[in-house]
Structure 1
């Protein structure tokens, strides 16, 4: 990301969710599961700080995003956080992906930690917009160690892999998307959205990402910017600095 781009805005795609019959059986009515529309865009101004670190805010993302080049791979590991649930429904996602920051294509894979009727619900999914997101049927539990990656040959072929090394399962999806912009790479904690806007963020405490790489190199070498999730003057989640160029944490602050 070039330091000369002062005054630009961050545009982050968000998963727009609608209820699916399968997940409603588990969660009850009104709980989003899969997307049925194009990702909407959230715009927020970039904020520059000293020390050569570029920071920004987003209404629905926290983590790191690299832009300003062609991106063909991204990977990271994390421990599935446990969510604290009260009486309201809340949502959160943790993922790696290509595109979505300033582009209208999305290639992402990750996990979910939601609250429905006061109870936690954990799941996993992938998304290749304009195709609908798809949920995996494998069991996801808090404390599970996940490793995820999205790679492409640069000519429209993608491989998305998510592995639960705690429970010993792995899912690999091979997809094609010739219109993919390959304009960004991200490691993100997200507040998903419904058709009416960003949904309340689940209280996931803190999630730690490790071994984060972009284009086969450390995330820190990609000139990625740090993103704080904030909206309407309320900070929803904060992002730590990078440790060793490959590790950071995102901490929940507000729904």
Structure 2
């Protein structure tokens, strides 16, 4: 337990809860291509053989959360792994609605280790354009994440970190409802989350490097559209089709029902 003194109650509540969060692997049956459903993810994954993913690059616009009195959450990230294995190397933005207001924070995570949050000076606002990359450094056997808020002008980089059991068999561009204490949270109403060049004007994003060759999501060997559902199968969030250039899509909020 730690005490945090802050000017605004909402921000204090948000920061105090950080260490409880977990951004987890895909929690649903998996297939090699086409579409699937998940209890916690919505977006796209590229799925290949173990050891083939070298890097993933992405960009998105931070959505404006529509908050009621309920406490709800949504995370937006780019990463490697988690589709076919139990690790995830990822970086992104977490949003929380509490007491009718939204707050946002940047983070990286080498799951199952806990997420690491950017300093409070790295401010994230709705409408900001984000850039992220996750890279495997083969010479050192470790992963590095880089997250940039292009609008605000800051960059947040992880140390090169070895992740035991990382398969390097998938790359992802995801909207997630995270877990607290092992239980999935209620999904925040994020409206639409826009990913990729067509929306962000950031080139060479929503691409994956496989065995040294760069592919867009749409041109990759196997890509999967992932719809988030609750445990009764009702849709919570759904991805659009990919753009004609294979780089861009959006995820639409449908329901917060857990």
Same fold (TM over 0.5): yes
| Other structure's SS at 2:218 match | helix
Q: How much does 1:42 deviate?
A: 1.8
Determine the C-alpha separation between the residues in 2 that align with 1:29 and 1:165: 23
Q: How much does 1:37 deviate?
A: 7.4
Equivalence for 1:139: 123
Equivalence for 1:203: 189
Determine the C-alpha separation between the residues in 1 that align with 2:123 and 2:15: 22
Higher alpha-carbon deviation: 31-40 or 118-127: 31-40
For each residue in 1:94-143, what CA deviation from the matched residue of structure 2 results, as whole angstroms up to 9, or x when unmatched?
00001111211211000012101211011110001243211112111001
Higher alpha-carbon deviation: 232-241 or 193-202: 193-202
Name the one with the larger strand percent.
1
* Residues 57, 207 of structure 2: 8 Å contact kept: yes
Over 3 Å counting, the alpha-carbon distance change for 1:206 and 1:40 in structure 2 is closer
Determine the C-alpha separation between the residues in 2 that align with 1:42 and 1:109: 19
Determine the C-alpha separation between the residues in 2 that align with 1:107 and 1:220: 22
Equivalence for 2:55: 73
Determine the C-alpha separation between the residues in 2 that align with 1:234 and 1:148: 30
Equivalence for 1:230: 229
Equivalence for 2:162: 177
Determine the C-alpha separation between the residues in 2 that align with 1:176 and 1:68: 22
Determine the C-alpha separation between the residues in 2 that align with 1:34 and 1:65: 27
> How large is the Cα RMSD of the aligned pairs?
2.5
Q: Note if 1:164 corresponds to 2:149.
A: yes
Determine the C-alpha separation between the residues in 1 that align with 2:42 and 2:217: 15
* Residues 85, 115 of structure 1: 8 Å contact kept: yes
Equivalence for 2:251: 250
Q: How much does 1:64 deviate?
A: 0.5
| TM-score after normalising by structure 1 | 0.83
Higher alpha-carbon deviation: 175-184 or 139-148: 175-184
| Other structure's SS at 1:72 match | strand
Over 3 Å counting, the alpha-carbon distance change for 1:33 and 1:227 in structure 2 is same
Q: 1:219 aligns with which of 197, 200, 217?
A: 217
Post-superposition, which runs of at least 4 consecutive aligned residues in structure 1 deviate over 4 A? 19-25, 35-41
Equivalence for 2:200: none
Q: Note if 1:118 corresponds to 2:104.
A: no
* Residues 26, 38 of structure 2: 8 Å contact kept: no
Structure 1 unpaired stretches of 5+: 1-18
Higher alpha-carbon deviation: 154-163 or 211-220: 154-163
Over 3 Å counting, the alpha-carbon distance change for 1:235 and 1:36 in structure 2 is closer
Q: How much does 1:73 deviate?
A: 0.5
| TM-score after normalising by structure 2 | 0.82
Q: How much does 1:35 deviate?
A: 4.8
* Residues 23, 33 of structure 1: 8 Å contact kept: no
Over 3 Å counting, the alpha-carbon distance change for 1:36 and 1:163 in structure 2 is closer
